[in-house]
Chain A
Amino acid sequence: MMMTQNLITTPNKLPVAGQAQPDRPLIRLRQVTKNYRTAAGDFPALRGIDLDLYPGELVGVLGKSGAGKTTLVNLISGVDHLTSGEIWVGDTAVHQLNENQAAQWRSRNLGVVYQSFQLMPTLSLLDNVLLPMDFTGLYRGKSSARHALEILRQMELEEHAGKLPSNISGGQQQRVAIARALANDPPVIVADEPTGRLDSITAETIFEIFEGLVHQGRTIIMVTHDASFARRFTRLVWLADGQVVDEPQFQID
Chain B
Amino acid sequence: MAPAAKIDLSCALIQIENVSKTFKTPAGDFPALKDINLCFGQAEYASIMGKSGSGKSTLINMITGIDHPSSGTVRVADHDVHHMNESQLADWRGRNLGIVFQFFQLLPMLSVLENTMLPMDFCNQYAPAERENRARLLLDMVGLGAEANKLPAALSGGQQQLAAIARALANDPPLLVADEPTGNLDSRSSTRILDLFDELVSQNKTVIIVTHDSSLAERASRRVLISDGMLIDETMADALPMLGHPQLLRLSQLAVNRSYEPGAILARHDNGKTGLFVITQGQVEALRIFRSGESEVCERLGPGTYFSELELEQDERSVLAFRAVSDVPVEAQWVSHEAFYHFLGESNAAENALRKAATERFGHIHRQVQPRKSFWWRR
Q: Which residues of A contact B (CB under 8 A)?
A: 70, 74, 77, 79-80, 99, 103, 106-107, 112, 114, 116-124, 131-132, 135, 162, 164, 166-167, 192
B99 contacts A by Cβ under 8 Å: yes
Other-chain contact of A167, B67, B110, B118, B151 (Cβ < 8 Å): B67
Known: A80-B154, A103-B111, A112-B153. 9 other contacts (CB 8 A): A80-B153, A112-B109, A114-B153, A118-B107, A121-B99, A121-B101, A131-B107, A135-B109, A135-B110
Residue among A99, A116, A117, A124 making CB contact with B149, cutoff 8 Å: A99
For B109, list chain A residues within 8 Å (CB).
Answer: 106-107, 112, 132, 135
* Chain B interface size, under 10 / 10 to 19 / 20 to 34 / 35 or more: 20 to 34
Residues of A within 8 A of B93 (CB): 122
Smallest distance from the beta carbon of B178 to chain A beta carbons, Å?
Answer: 12
Please report the C-alpha to C-alpha distance between residue A171 and residue B149 in the assembled complex, in whole angstroms. 31
Q: What is the CA–CA distance of A243 and B66 in the complex, to the nearest angstrom?
A: 45
B contact residues around A164 at 8 Å (CB): 66
Which residues of chain B in 79-111 are interfacial with respect to chain A, using CB atoms and an 8 Å cutoff? 86, 90, 93-94, 99, 101, 103-111
**A-B interface contact total, Cβ < 8 Å:** 61
Q: Which B residue sits closest to A113, measured CB to CB?
A: B108
The verdict on A74 contacting B153 (CB below 8 Å), with A118-B104, A166-B66, A167-B67 known, is: yes
Interface string of B181-212 (1 = CB under 8 A from A): 00000000000000000000000000000000
Residues of B within 8 A of A162 (CB): 86
Tell me if B37 counts as interface (CB < 8 A to partner A): no
* CB closest residue in chain B, given A124: B86
Contact (Cβ within 8 A) B153 A119: no
Supply 27 A–B pairs (Cβ within 8 Å), ascending by A.
A70-B153, A74-B154, A77-B153, A79-B151, A80-B153, A80-B154, A103-B111, A112-B108, A112-B153, A114-B153, A116-B104, A117-B103, A118-B104, A118-B108, A120-B118, A121-B66, A121-B101, A121-B105, A122-B64, A122-B66, A122-B90, A122-B94, A132-B107, A164-B66, A166-B66, A166-B67, A192-B153
CA distance A107 to B114 in the complex (A): 14
